[in-house]
Structure 1
Amino acid sequence: MSGDQERDAALSQAVRLREQGQTERAREELVALAQRYPQDTEVAYQAGWAHDVLGLEAEAVPFYERALSGPGLSEEDRHGVFLGLGSTYRVLGRFELSLRTLRGGLAEFPQDPALQAFLAMALYNAGQGREAVQTLLKTLTASSADLRVRSYRSAIDHYAEDLDAME
């Protein structure tokens, strides 16, 4: 088996373990893989995710940062890194880094509702409640399939721009 095939098989096995709820074993295998392939962004992302799932947010950060530092991630995985790292920074109380990361994700994935929701939480935690509410309202109107929300979209969007308006 070639090195690439060996890496792919080991990574698939570790992801499968995580998906099956064997998160500690998956984390151990992913840490070993990350040591073996230190420049591999996909391995780094999966290692970050495994730490995150176990509530080891501080340990997840370097893996997520490594995953964003180079090429090689699929679009879906890159989105996942922005979300995972932004959320992890928020949980750790590193609000400015959270905002920067989530906004970076939105620069690549504009109007993504999941990134917007996590941005709103980070904004709230950073003391920017007005922008948090605006972000949530705009995300709601842009992504909701609910007929009532859709019928009031223009009014909700209007008031999102001026939360103090009473007209």
Structure 2
Amino acid sequence: MTTEPYDGRLARAVALRTGGRADEARELLLALRAEFPDDAVVAYQTAWTHDVLDREAEAVAHYRAAIAGDLPEADLRDALLGLGSTLRALGRDDEAAEVFAHGVARFPEYRPLRVFRAMLRYNTGDAREAVADLLRLLADTTEDPDVRQYRRAISAYADDLDRSWLG
């Protein structure tokens, strides 16, 4: 057992991951998970590190534990994004869709969730909704003055990509 305090070990693990030493971070985080199995922040950091290491299948349980725990809001929205993205990468599209639906409902202003949901929609053959989502995001967020002048038209097309209003 180490004498280094919990906060120090967690900070060191995050620094290892961000410093390109994710394998070492993983070892430290797995030890923290064993010691603090109900700690949502440790679970989240463990999941994230597994994703960095392309160990998505192992990340899922850690994301689920983090989301079920008491995460700060910013970490919760990122954990939902991470879990949805990981499930998408694993081809578990139905589960990913549920996670993104929950995430977008819980954090409607957190646009990265909408972007990743659009990618999933494209992967599942719903290209129309994927394009509509991305057009809405573009209209809502662009700072490009050339695109901004067409914001109303872009939003209208996003709402009716099939141009049913022409017929």
TM-score category of the 2 structures, normalised to the smaller one: over 0.9
User: Does the residue aligned with 1:157 lie in a helix, a strand or coil?
Assistant: helix
Residues 101-147 of structure 1 show CA distances to partners (whole Å, capped at 9, x for unaligned) of 11211122113221111000011112211111111111111111111
Q: Counterpart in 2 of 1:84?
A: 82
Q: Could you state the TM-score of these two structures normalised by the residue count of structure 2?
A: 0.93
* 1:150 CA displacement: 1.3
Residues 2-59 of structure 1 show CA distances to partners (whole Å, capped at 9, x for unaligned) of x9x8211110110011111101000111111111111000000000000000100000
* Code of the aligned partner of 2:33: A
Q: Counterpart in 2 of 1:63?
A: 62
2:32 is the counterpart of 1:43: no
Matches of residues 10-159 of structure 1 in structure 2 within 5 Å? 10-71=9-70, 73-159=71-157
* Code of the aligned partner of 1:38: P
CA contact (8 A) 1:113 1:143 kept: no
Q: Could you state the TM-score of these two structures normalised by the residue count of structure 1?
A: 0.93
Partners of 2:125 and 2:97 in 1: CA distance: 12
CA contact (8 A) 1:89 1:98 kept: yes
Partners of 1:121 and 1:131 in 2: CA distance: 10
Q: Does 40-49 or 132-141 show the bigger shift?
A: 132-141
Partners of 2:148 and 2:125 in 1: CA distance: 29
Gaps of 5+ in 2: none
* 1:69 CA displacement: 0.5
* Code of the aligned partner of 1:78: L
Partners of 2:33 and 2:142 in 1: CA distance: 39
CA contact (8 A) 1:120 1:133 kept: yes
Paired positions, count = 163
User: Does the residue aligned with 1:49 lie in a helix, a strand or coil?
Assistant: helix
Identity of aligned residues (%): 46
Partners of 1:53 and 1:121 in 2: CA distance: 19
User: Does the residue aligned with 1:25 lie in a helix, a strand or coil?
Assistant: helix
Q: Counterpart in 1 of 2:6?
A: 7
